Chain A
Amino acid sequence: MSANHDDRHDSPDPHGRALRLGVGGPVGSGKTALVAALCRTLGPVLRLGVVTNDIYTTEDADFLRRAGVLDPERIIAVQTGCCPHTAIRDDIAANLDAVESLEERFGPLDLVIVESGGDNLTATFSRGLADHQIFVLDVSGGDKVPRKGGPGVTTADLLVINKTDLAKHVGADLTVMSRDAAAVREGRPVLFTSIREVPEVYSVAEWVHGVVESWAHAREHPHGPAVPTTNA
């Protein structure tokens, strides 16, 4: 079952809060690189904020700052007490507080990205925190990962399989990954990326832009028909 697709009844806040997008996935799969890429590509067209949950330091936030893609003030780091999955799923209070504080300081915003700390395949975002979520895998974990499933892989609104440039080195078959992912995801989208080679990640940016527009449309026409997202 989808974490979010039957959650559309959650009508956008009449006061017009930003769309909240969760980005999760295992350690090292490229979450931070993806968030940086999204900021770089969407920064000129959307009003953005970022909450990062890196479990070690403010390293993720610093990475984003160095990438020069976003005003450092618009990035908040939340410490999760060694429990990144707790902070995005079981007890989302600190993350909600960070999101709302960004909206208070810089609002109105179009999009707030919440990047989880690196975790395992079972970690997903609570619907109370994220309106939509992206799960990021990379091919170096092996081409069996999509088949194994787990809530992240099966229920995320978008599955991103990153580091396709490494596939040939690690013997991962992208066709197998694509087929297995499609089978467990009941038609929800999967995008293959190599952020190292295409740092703008146009395909993912386009998908995100689509859900933000759909969100904004629903906000302006609370009783009108939902506009389908670009790729979903």
Chain B
Amino acid sequence: MNAALLLLADSRLPAGGHGHSGGAEEAVRVGAITGPGDLARFLRGRLATAGLVAAALSAAACALAARDDASAVDEPGRSYEPGRSDEPGRSYEPGRSYEPDRSYEPGRSGEPDRSGGGAEGEWRGLDAEADARAASPAQRGASRTQGRLLLRSARRIWPSPALDAPARAVPQGVHHPIALGAVSAAAGCSPHDAALATAYTSITGPATAAVRLLGLDPVVVHRVLAGLVPDLESVARTACARTAWEDLPAHAAPALDLLAEQHLRTEVRLFVS
């Protein structure tokens, strides 16, 4: 573990995170979270779905950024492998195993490179994988906003060519887990660190929001978070399992989708999401 992980996971990192509740505000409004018990179930379910997906995207982004960074420093002339196509015309093999059978290659994209240019195309490819895992426009919007704010701050905190590529590739903001993965690499953290920080922020934001909205005892809520530490570790481990981008976890949380869309239609909102 790199100590920079502490900075990345700190809620005081000035990147706009305090304005997001990850669905908790709406869940409180509709009565789905009323106290520490249902908050714990909310957080655990969120971690196992949205948290796992985000952690895996973050680890992949960290690996991609680390490679970019290394190539920027060591091999300025190195060319990137173009993104691999998804084999749309792949022939049917009846006996083929249903399990992913492809080995991991950092940066191997599940979609064609649409950029016409190396690393930026790969960032767009990874970003498209995040898009395909976020059915709710409200959640995509919140994720891109947070990603944009994080990159804005991080490029001043940890200036690195590895952060310029994603910022250039998706000017409206890469998805937040992808930004967090890239920033982790720029800060010197490993993909596992990135996954851990991402999983952690996927539950601490909603937990803090619940404390503010319901006036819960912050010590009790921190006990809930402490109880999720084994889950955090297991999610980070799973998120780092080496696989092609197209096979990364894609766990859906339909209730979060509903909450996110309802939230945007609610007149009284204290949080962005």
Interface residues of A (CB under 8 A from B): 55-57, 78-83, 86-87, 90-94, 96-97
**Contact (Cβ within 8 A) B270 A79:** yes
Per-residue interface assignment for chain B, residues 260 to 273, with 1 indicating a CB less than 8 Å from any chain A CB and 0 otherwise: 00000001111110
Q: How far is the CA of A12 from the CA of B212 in the complex (A)?
A: 38
Q: How large is the interface on B (under 10, 10 to 19, 20 to 34, 35 or more residues)?
A: 20 to 34
Q: How far is the CA of A84 from the CA of B268 in the complex (A)?
A: 15
Among A81, A82, A97, the most chain B Cβ lie within 10 Å of the Cβ of: A81
The verdict on B12 contacting chain A, using a C-beta distance below 8 Å, is yes
The verdict on B16 contacting chain A, using a C-beta distance below 8 Å, is yes
- Shortest Cβ distance from B205 into A: residue: A81
Among A57, A78, A87, A93, the most chain B Cβ lie within 10 Å of the Cβ of: A93
**Contact (Cβ within 8 A) A82 B270:** yes
Per-residue interface assignment for chain B, residues 14 to 37, with 1 indicating a CB less than 8 Å from any chain A CB and 0 otherwise: 111111110000000000000000
The 5 nearest A-B residue pairs measured at CB: A93-B16, A93-B149, A91-B14, A81-B19, A82-B212
- Shortest Cβ distance from B173 into A: residue: A97
**Contact (Cβ within 8 A) A80 B270:** yes
**Contact (Cβ within 8 A) B19 A96:** no
| Known contacts A57-B267, A81-B21, A82-B213, A97 near B272 by CB under 8 Å | no
The verdict on B152 contacting chain A, using a C-beta distance below 8 Å, is yes
**Contact (Cβ within 8 A) A94 B149:** yes
The verdict on B209 contacting chain A, using a C-beta distance below 8 Å, is yes
Q: How far is the CA of A72 from the CA of B153 in the complex (A)?
A: 29
CB neighbours (8 Å) of B16 from chain A are: 91, 93-94, 97
Q: How far is the CA of A90 from the CA of B153 in the complex (A)?
A: 12
Contact of B15 among A80, A83, A93 (CB under 8 A): A93
**Contact (Cβ within 8 A) B269 A79:** yes
CB neighbours (8 Å) of A96 from chain B are: 152
How far, in Å, is B232 (CB) from chain A's closest CB?
22
How far, in Å, is A106 (CB) from chain B's closest CB?
18
CB neighbours (8 Å) of A93 from chain B are: 14-16, 149-150, 152-153
The verdict on B145 contacting chain A, using a C-beta distance below 8 Å, is yes
**Contact (Cβ within 8 A) B267 A94:** no
- List 27 interface pairs A-B (beta carbons < 8 Å), by A numbering: A57-B268, A57-B269, A79-B19, A80-B19, A80-B270, A81-B19, A81-B270, A81-B272, A82-B212, A83-B18, A83-B212, A86-B18, A87-B19, A90-B12, A90-B14, A91-B13, A91-B14, A91-B16, A91-B18, A93-B14, A93-B15, A93-B16, A93-B153, A94-B19, A94-B272, A96-B152, A97-B149
